[in-house]
Amino acid sequence: MALPKIDLPLMEIKQPSTGNIVKYRPFTVKEEKILLVAQEADDPAAEILAMKQIIGNCFYDLDVDETPMIDLEYFLLILRSSSVDNKIKFSVTDPDTEENTELEIDLNEVHVKFNDSHTDEIKINDRYSLFLKYPTIDAFIKIADMAPEDPLTTYNIMTSCLDKIAAEDEIEYFKDYTDKEIEQFMDDMPADTLNKILNFFETLPKLRHEIKYKNSNGKEQTFVVEGARSFFI
């Protein structure tokens, strides 16, 4: 006689970057173990890989490799909230009193924050516009393996998010070109275009949540949590 197979509920959620409805199931002990092992490793690349595996297991009809990282971070929080507990307790050191302060996050209150000035279209000149795409999980894995001080890190982040260049009568997709051709294209770009590309990254949607509390001196403080990794302190 075989052990029974436990049926899991199927739920729906809106994908932040597209507004599309996607289906998922809660994660199981198997996914919980994957997350715990990654957290114990204290390695950003390992945590990103664990996120990729967990969401790939739990979400249906979702191409994890092509899904923007901001969506995957949000999905991981939703999985944690619906599968384990929506409340996370942790302690921080108050900057004024230097005392440990106990705080609590309700994951159901955490949402992706959008910047009104954010745009994926960059005007190069009167004819051409450059379109960028949100970084994917594989781009973040490559970035995590690079030294932050490496000047190529910023360049690789930018080139991984190049989507297409378009005019009224033509569209060219960067995926159809070699790294060398893309490098030459980037080298020939007007200097002010670089600042516009950097602004795309500075204004990217992000998981952000503020927790207000009073310290032992009665002063109101605000603790800011950003990024999926921070929510699993």
- Token pair for 86: 């929506």
User: Residues near 33 by Cβ (< 8 Å), separated by ≥ 6?
Assistant: none
| For the chain, percent of residues with pLDDT exceeding 70 | 93
The average confidence (pLDDT) of the chain is: 86
Domain segments of the chain: what residues? 11-112+206-232, 124-202
Please determine, for residue 140, whether its predicted confidence score (pLDDT) is greater than 90.
no
The pLDDT of 99-127, averaged and rounded, is 91
In this predicted model, what pLDDT tens digit does every residue of 46-86 receive, in sequence order?
888 888 899 999 999 899 988 998 999 999 988 888 888 88
**Per-residue confidence at 35, pLDDT binned at 50, 70, 90?**
confident
Please determine, for residue 147, whether its predicted confidence score (pLDDT) is greater than 70.
no
Backbone angles phi, psi at 194, to 5 degrees: -60, -45
The pLDDT of 2-23, averaged and rounded, is 87
Residue 203 CA to residue 196 CA, distance in Å, equals 11
Helices 29-41 and 69-83: angle between axes, nearest 10 degrees: 120
**Is 2 strand, coil or helix?**
coil
b/e burial code for range 110-124 (CB count within 10 A of at least 16 → b): bebeeeeeeeeebee
The pLDDT of 220-228, averaged and rounded, is 85
Give the dihedral sign, CA 81/82/85/87. Answer: positive
| For the chain, percent of residues with pLDDT exceeding 90 | 43
The pLDDT of 34-51, averaged and rounded, is 81
